[in-house]
Amino acid sequence: MQKGWLNYFLDLALGLNALLMGTSGLIMWLVLPCPGEGRSFSGRRALLEGVEPETFLGLGRSTWRLLHEWAGVAILCLLTLHLILHWGWIVQMTRNLLKR
Per-residue pLDDT tens over the stretch 79-90: 999 999 999 999
Q: Could you tell me the pTM of the whole model?
A: 0.75
| pLDDT grade for 96, boundaries at 50, 70 and 90 | very high
Residue 28's closest CA among 70, 72, 59?
A: 59
Q: What are phi and psi of 79, to 5 degrees?
A: -65, -40
pLDDT, tens digit, 9 for 90 and up, residues 23-58: 999 998 888 877 665 545 555 555 555 556 688 888
Q: Give whole-number Cα distances, 64 to 9, 15, 23, 29, 81, in Å.
A: 25, 18, 9, 11, 26
Mean of the per-residue pLDDT values of the chain? 85
Domain boundaries, the chain: 3-99
